[in-house]
Structure 1
Amino acid sequence: MAFSVQVAASGATEVSDRCEQRIKNIYPSLPDVSQVLDGAQAQNSIKGRANLTNKTYSQKIKDIAVHFPAGSYDPGSMVRLGLPYGGIEFKSALPQPGRECLVLTYELKFDENFNFVKGGKLPGLYGGTGNTGGKIPNGHDGFSTRYIWKEKGTGAIYAYLPTSKTWGTAVGLGSWIFTVGQWHRLEQLVKLNTPGQADGVISIWYDKKLVHSETGLTFRDTPDITIDGLLFSTFFGGNNPSFATPVSTNIRFRNFVMSSQRVTDPSGQGD
């Protein structure tokens, strides 16, 4: 079955770009995204490692290129069919204990030949088990806030929440449009709800512009669920061939940082 979206209701009159509890940037050397891959958890859990390459411009300036072979879509489906795996997935846990609020920033660039087809996934945050793949959270196990692209590059956050139905909930669907061949900056602020109250927040900035903010969200029913790290998950799909990329293509990523506030501009590295 293809992935579908449950659209969340919008609404926030005042939007904060920082969390109350301050922390240092998790990756203080912002251009060096190789730090995302240094943790043992990330190294030991990478699915699709063959599709990952680092391109180096200087000693500290790198980006990650993720490859999608022609005809690839949902990795689980491809594995079952014995076909080439497209994209990559791994978790990179925070070095500090779980957070109640966090800002994730990174930049990405779709190849010139990239065809958005019907949709796909992009990295986001996770907590607990990092629910995806139709595993709806029960309020005590986890959540995730990956981005998605839809037809013609329409963007959203595809959040797995206890209030989701069969699949994820689309937050901010259509608030921005991805374009190919140029770098874009994505920022998401996730503030978890107080257990027992629907007061969680997701705010999204695209190319430094606030494009959507959502209040009244429920991520959890227990304080044991916190924001635990980066869910680096990107692939075409949906889990049927109608989502498959018609061409061999790539997405490049750089400048990952997780912090308690929006970071200063890290752009301008690479090409």
Structure 2
Amino acid sequence: MIRALLVLFLPVVIAQSVSPGAIASQYQLGSSTSLPFPTATLSATAASSYLGTSGWQITKNGSISQKDDVSFANDPFATSNSAPVFTVDYPTGSYSEGTGGTEFSTYFNNSGTPFGTVLLSYEVAFDTNFDWVKGGKLPGLRGGSLSDCSGGVYSSSCFSMRLMWRAEGAGEAYAYMPAPFSLCSRSNVLCNQEGYGTSLSRGSFSFVSGAWNNISLLVQLNNPVRASNGLVYVYHNGVLAVQFTGLQIRLDSSVTGFTGLFFSGRRDIRYPTDQHTYFRNIQMWGSTAFSSSSSAASSIRAASFRVTATLAFIVANAMVFISLL
């Protein structure tokens, strides 16, 4: 008896890692900046003063919330001598507002010409054995009014796009932007969860504790405003993890550029132990190019979008918005 043995050779796909600089080059993002860090550790009081005077260009009259919960500390996961890292404390029993975390904003582009595309890159680390609880927010980008598009408040005068960790470290992009049925019906999208923002590709990557995670967030605004041709890409450790195109990120022509980098925990989370997140190598690239992809005009109208603020806020600068609440 002759037996035939069938051997199948299946191709192995290895994800290609790409550096933030390579992404910036691919999208021809000619303007760039890196936020400065001190050469020595700084206590909470000294850290707040440094943030206001070092070139981070804090906006909102220099306002930094929860000043006692930020500092510059030694890198807990350094493999060699390194500069201090920006440290955010979540004290035992803290919620996202009032205790734990921080919030502030800082501009990037002061040219007076709005950016249509921005890449934000940073490294984030979590304490070893970090308790993820239900989730927390990480730096991202925003545009338009600084008063809305977070905390469950939608508005046509702004947008925001942040990162979040969820239970067990699951990662996602987290958006406040128009959410039509065509977007919300996708299997990898969760809209208006518990009255808050939209989750994009939850669990498509995972944060690890006790080590540095590199994040790159690329956002290109739709143009014109009624078109659905914007894009959002998230790279985790250089690997593309979140990819969305055909988005209507901004709804109103008053939103002419970018405004934000955002750290924040959810309102319903109580941290069981004192915990920390750490940040270093915060960089941004930008260009005046808006999306030029062809797209049918969106059918979304301002009346169908839940608007809570009617005052138009014209943004001519790109800004980093840091919120750790």
TM over 0.5: yes
Give the TM interval when normalised to the shorter protein: 0.7 to 0.9
Alpha-carbon distance in structure 1 between the residues aligned to 2:58 and 2:203: 36
Structure 1 residue aligned with 2:137, among 112, 121, 141?
121
User: Is contact 1:113–1:247 with CA below 8 Å preserved after alignment?
Assistant: no
| Structural RMSD (CA) | 3.0
- Is 1:230 the counterpart of 2:260 in the alignment? yes
Report what 1:93 is aligned to: 107
Report what 2:57 is aligned to: 39
Q: For the pair shown, which has the larger CA radius of gyration, 1 or 2?
A: 2
Which of 165-174 and 144-153 deviates more?
165-174
Alpha-carbon distance in structure 1 between the residues aligned to 2:37 and 2:236: 18
Report what 1:211 is aligned to: 241
Report what 2:202 is aligned to: 173
Secondary structure at the counterpart of residue 95 of structure 2: coil
Secondary structure at the counterpart of residue 135 of structure 1: coil
Report what 1:66 is aligned to: 88
Alpha-carbon distance in structure 2 between the residues aligned to 1:221 and 1:42: 24
Structure 2 residue aligned with 1:27, among 31, 34, 55?
34
Alpha-carbon distance in structure 2 between the residues aligned to 1:107 and 1:31: 16
Report what 1:266 is aligned to: none
Structure 1 residue aligned with 2:169, among 146, 153, 170?
153
Report what 1:108 is aligned to: 124
Deviation at 1:60, TM superposition (A): 8.5
User: Is contact 2:92–2:272 with CA below 8 Å preserved after alignment?
Assistant: yes
Alpha-carbon distance in structure 1 between the residues aligned to 2:70 and 2:119: 24
Q: 1:160 is matched by which residue type in structure 2? A: Y
Q: Deviation digits for residues 49-92 of structure 1, max 9, x if unmatched?
A: 111101367999331000000111221xxx3xxxxx11111111
CA gap 1:30/1:185 in 2 versus in 1, 3 angstroms: farther
Report what 1:269 is aligned to: none
CA gap 1:158/1:28 in 2 versus in 1, 3 angstroms: closer
Alpha-carbon distance in structure 1 between the residues aligned to 2:29 and 2:207: 31
Name the TM-score, length of structure 1 as normaliser: 0.76
Report what 2:23 is aligned to: 17
Name the TM-score, length of structure 2 as normaliser: 0.64
Q: Deviation digits for residues 207-234 of structure 1, max 9, x if unmatched?
A: 1111121011111123331343333322
Report what 1:186 is aligned to: 215
User: Is contact 1:26–1:258 with CA below 8 Å preserved after alignment?
Assistant: yes
Deviation at 1:27, TM superposition (A): 1.9
CA gap 1:118/1:59 in 2 versus in 1, 3 angstroms: closer
Deviation at 1:20, TM superposition (A): 4.8
Secondary structure at the counterpart of residue 244 of structure 2: strand
Deviation at 1:250, TM superposition (A): 0.4
Q: 1:199 is matched by which residue type in structure 2? A: N
Q: Which has the higher contact order (CA 8 A, sep 6+)?
A: 1
Secondary structure at the counterpart of residue 114 of structure 1: coil
Secondary structure at the counterpart of residue 219 of structure 2: strand
Which of 58-67 and 26-35 deviates more?
26-35
Deviation at 1:30, TM superposition (A): 8.7
Q: 2:239 is matched by which residue type in structure 1? A: K
User: Is contact 1:158–1:171 with CA below 8 Å preserved after alignment?
Assistant: yes
Alpha-carbon distance in structure 1 between the residues aligned to 2:55 and 2:203: 31
Deviation at 1:129, TM superposition (A): 1.9
Structure 2 residue aligned with 1:136, among 148, 151, 154?
154
CA gap 1:31/1:46 in 2 versus in 1, 3 angstroms: closer
Alpha-carbon distance in structure 2 between the residues aligned to 1:65 and 1:22: 29
Q: 2:254 is matched by which residue type in structure 1? A: D
Percent of paired sites with the same residue:
30
Report what 1:196 is aligned to: 226
Alpha-carbon distance in structure 1 between the residues aligned to 2:70 and 2:61: 12
Alpha-carbon distance in structure 2 between the residues aligned to 1:149 and 1:189: 18
Q: Deviation digits for residues 14-36 of structure 1, max 9, x if unmatched?
A: xx934756332122769989778
Report what 1:259 is aligned to: 285
